[in-house]
Amino acid sequence: MATLISSRATVLVKWMLPIGWLGIVTAVTVKSVDGGSAGLDPLFFAGPLAFALLGFIMVGYFTWGLADAVHDCGDHLRVRRGRTEDRIRLEDVDSIDVTLGRQQKVTLQLARPCAFGLQVSFVPALWFSLNPFGHHPIADELIERARAARSERRSDFMAAP
């Protein structure tokens, strides 16, 4: 049985954050034009355009590469981003990086490329902790299970004649 370990809000964040950012920049620009403070000077629109592009680049860098859903299936993870889905065996996970802070991001570094390349990132399901720098329990468990799967693979390789 597969368990969803990624946040259900990932798709929402990937689409609503850029749309919201663009909406705020547009609203401020329109309000400034309506107030008459900008006139029709084309240079005035350079600032809002720069903010819109900067926001899109930052949001794109941090969220568009995230997997939409990650399911834990025991010995492997089932990862979906858009219409593409792939299976990642835990023994193929070389390392797991966790960004610290309020919203954590888990990045899997893979030994073999999957449909998404050598790196898969996702936001784990929400959890509550009073320690803002504590690791997510899902990430800690994945780290241990991937380590165990890799050591089992090595021991099987060494035992083979």
pLDDT digits (tens, 9 = 90+) for 77-133: 999 998 999 999 999 999 888 886 667 889 999 999 999 999 999 988 877 666 666
- pTM of structure: 0.74
Confidence of residue 65 (pLDDT cuts 50, 70, 90): confident
Extract the tokens encoding 88: 């990642």
How far is CA 124 from each of CA 76, 94, 130, 139, 157, rounded to the nearest angstrom?
16, 19, 17, 8, 32
Highest mean pLDDT among 5-9, 55-59, 77-81, 103-107: 77-81
Averaged pLDDT of the chain: 83
On whether residue 10 sits in a domain, the answer given is yes
- Is residue 73 domain-resident? no
- Answer whether residue 80 is part of any domain: no
Over pLDDT 70: what percentage of the chain? 83
Residues 7 and 105: beta-carbon distance below 8 Å:
no
Joined tokens for residue 4:
């969803």
Calpha distance 104→125 (Å, rounded): 10
Which range of residues forms the domain containing residue 38? 3-64
79 falls within a domain: no
In this structure, is residue 76 part of a structural domain? no
